[in-house]
Structure 1
Amino acid sequence: MYLVLVLFWSHGVSSVTHSLQYAYTGALGIAEFPEFIATGVVDDFPIMHYDSERRRTEPRQEWMERNLETGYWESETATSQNQEELVKRDVKIAMERYNHSDGAHTVQLMYGCELDDDGSTRGFMQYGYDGEDHIVLDLETMTWTTVQPQAAITKQEWDSDRARNAYLSDYFTQECIEWLKQFVGFGRSSLERKIPPEVSVFQKDSQVTCHVTGFFPRGILVSWERDGEEVYEGVRQGEILPNEDGTFQMRSTLEVSPEELQGHLYTCRVMHSSQDEWLIRPWEPNQGTPGPGGTLPPPSRRIAPPTGPPLGIIIGCVVAVMLLAAGVTVWKKSRTGYGKTNTSDTDSENSSNPAMKA
């Protein structure tokens, strides 16, 4: 089966405190997969979901359902139903532009906004086709940037639609930010909790693995040292994956020969926003591998980080929320989709409608 993974990435450093992101995916020719899916996410938390089979927008967090009345969800449902028709049409148009007559194909739209702790904001909006960037909105100039030559016709049409672009500018600079602030207020206790990681190191053959688990939020820095000097060569960082309890885990693996391992001190170093110190876990012989459930001994010691930038700036805020699973193709939000904006008060019936049309 052809599978599609849509990943949201929040670029920059951890001064990004909160983000609101939406994804629309239209699919054609993929068995047992909805022709249209719409999903909304605040930070690492899915907040709403719509698909062409159920045809209604539903909350994905208790604090969203509790704080928003029925009228909000009815409005979101109407918006998603309208976008369903547009995105289905977009799939067929894109297939014509790319000279594809049949097969499995997808059109994906991502848009949203981010709020930094200094009050500055960013917005983004971009389309993809079959897992590759297609066209991206530049919020600095309010013009569209083509990533593929097949998007040239679309760019010409959308650049000339000044009314639509003016509305999009207002949405990303005002409305989206106000909804983000409101949603954060609803779920603050969940969104801003901090849980420190547990760190363990084990060896298998010529690999030493640092297993970091149970942390929240998901932004984390994991590195290796050999005799006190940072190691880059032979390091393979795994993806940050969710645990069943809502926390996260990841693995970092170092390729090292048994001779090197016996002759030097290798340590795994972990920095997370839940703490003011590095977590240090040295490799020790006969530590073994994780048992059932991935449980391992707690970290051996902690040391204070060096002076310099704040912890948040060191770590960065890498947000990768998996929304759709049926695939081998991964589409990530590109940096070119951002533009600095200012915020002001606004009001609207729903949060996910920046008046998009294909």
Structure 2
Amino acid sequence: LLLGVLGGAASEPHSLRYFDTAVSDPSPGVPQFVTVGYVDGEVFVHYDSETRRMAPRVDWIAANTDQQYWDSQTEALQGAEQVFRLDLDTMRERYNQSRGSHTTHRMFGCDILEDGSIRGFEQHGYDGKDFLTLDKDTLTYTAADAGAQITKRKWEQEGTVAEKMKYYLENTCIEWLRKYVSYGKEVLQRRERPEVRVSGMEANKILTLSCRAHGFYPRPISISWLKDGMVQEQETKRGSTVPNSDGTYHAWATIDVLPADRDKYQCRVEHASLPQPGLFLWEPQSNLILIVAGVAVAVVAVIAAL
């Protein structure tokens, strides 16, 4: 059963992310260096040490850029590739490690938030752990351990590393994010409604209610369980939002309840494709009805007992 409640969805934010990864022992299918770029969670560019070229991964970026764009991006990443290779050697020496398998990585990017404000970040890691994190407000780095302190002191003494990154995150990154969103607006700003299914399974006198949303776009979604209208945040278990092969996403949230209390629980789904949040109930063997402000209308989501 799907119920409608009054209230509008927030405007959609936008994000630009880059992930750099270097490995000490490359293998077939695992290049020594890889960079992947994302706009609003969608891969749009890719570079690796085997092709040594930045390449498009979606039609909209290829259609709106010229060869100079790809040449300049490629040149910058070829330089980054060399730096990351040297960084791997530096890290192994610093941590007194053998030539085993090691990984260094960096994640950075910027966001335009719902209210129009901006933010940016840069994080470095080594072997899957935090290494350095930029605080762009103070132009300093937070070091995760003694090894990272060495790099922190070096960069802060040089005095320009954090300043350059801050400028990039607050200006260049935002400028390109706006361009990319404009280039790909037909794809990035499309709206596909989630199909929501609510199911229940009872075992050992506990009823597990599951709320699954399928086939939605864009990626951001909020799935919450309510009891008597109150959000049950601590009691709710959530899975990751995972891409489907068709470019949409799916996500889920479950909660364990007493069988006698099942009518007190509702699943709330908020998504940019919905004019207002939806409330879903588990009704075994029942027909499906959508009610908005007390008026029966057409069903916009399929809910069935599984």
Same fold (TM over 0.5): yes
* Letter in structure 2 aligned against 1:301: L
Q: What is the rounded CA distance, in whole Å, between the counterparts of 2:200 and 2:267 in structure 1?
A: 12
**Which residue in 1 is equivalent to 2:290?**
301
Q: What is the rounded CA distance, in whole Å, between the counterparts of 1:124 and 1:95 in structure 2?
A: 26
Q: Secondary structure at the match of 1:178?
A: helix
**Which residue in 2 is equivalent to 1:209?**
210
Cα offset for 1:109?
Answer: 0.8
Cα offset for 1:16?
Answer: 6.7
CA contact (8 A) 2:136 2:162 kept: no
Cα offset for 1:170?
Answer: 2.4
Q: What is the rounded CA distance, in whole Å, between the counterparts of 1:227 and 1:175 in structure 2?
A: 47
Does residue 1:28 correspond to 2:24, yes or no?
Answer: yes
* Letter in structure 2 aligned against 1:40: G
The more displaced of 108-117 and 210-219 is 108-117
**Which residue in 2 is equivalent to 1:133?**
130
* Letter in structure 2 aligned against 1:29: D
CA contact (8 A) 2:12 2:272 kept: no
TM-score normalised according to structure 2 size:
0.83
**Which residue in 1 is equivalent to 2:97?**
100
* Letter in structure 1 aligned against 2:276: E
Q: What is the rounded CA distance, in whole Å, between the counterparts of 1:112 and 1:260 in structure 2?
A: 45
Gaps of 5+ in 1: 1-13, 288-296, 305-358
The more displaced of 14-23 and 180-189 is 14-23
* Letter in structure 1 aligned against 2:257: V
Q: Secondary structure at the match of 1:276?
A: coil
Gaps of 5+ in 2: 1-9, 294-306
**Which residue in 2 is equivalent to 1:197?**
194
CA contact (8 A) 2:123 2:134 kept: yes
From the superposition, tell whether residues 86 and 253 of structure 1 become closer, same or farther in structure 2 (CA, over 3 Å): same
* Letter in structure 1 aligned against 2:255: L
* Ranges of 4+ aligned residues in structure 1 off by more than 6 Å: none
Q: What is the rounded CA distance, in whole Å, between the counterparts of 1:156 and 1:30 in structure 2?
A: 31
Does residue 1:81 correspond to 2:78, yes or no?
Answer: yes
Cα offset for 1:107?
Answer: 0.5
Q: Secondary structure at the match of 1:246?
A: coil
Cα offset for 1:166?
Answer: 3.3
Cα offset for 1:253?
Answer: 1.5
CA contact (8 A) 2:11 2:272 kept: no
% identity of equivalent residues: 38
**Which residue in 2 is equivalent to 1:223?**
224
From the superposition, tell whether residues 234 and 126 of structure 1 become closer, same or farther in structure 2 (CA, over 3 Å): closer
Does residue 1:188 correspond to 2:189, yes or no?
Answer: no
Deviations 1:36-68 (A, max 9, x none): 101111112211001112221101111100110
Q: What is the rounded CA distance, in whole Å, between the counterparts of 2:233 and 2:173 in structure 1?
A: 40
Does residue 1:277 correspond to 2:276, yes or no?
Answer: yes
Q: Secondary structure at the match of 1:135?
A: strand
Matches within 5 A, 1:44-193: 44-193=41-190
TM-score normalised according to structure 1 size:
0.72
* Letter in structure 2 aligned against 1:285: P
Q: What is the rounded CA distance, in whole Å, between the counterparts of 1:166 and 1:231 in structure 2?
A: 43
**Which residue in 2 is equivalent to 1:241?**
242
Question: How many residue pairs get matched?
Answer: 280
* Letter in structure 2 aligned against 1:220: I
CA contact (8 A) 1:279 1:301 kept: no
Q: CA RMSD in A?
A: 2.4
Q: What is the rounded CA distance, in whole Å, between the counterparts of 2:264 and 2:134 in structure 1?
A: 49
From the superposition, tell whether residues 202 and 105 of structure 1 become closer, same or farther in structure 2 (CA, over 3 Å): same
Q: Secondary structure at the match of 1:252?
A: strand
Cα offset for 1:285?
Answer: 2.4
Q: Secondary structure at the match of 2:31?
A: coil
Which one scores higher on RCO, CA 8 angstroms, separation ≥ 6?
1
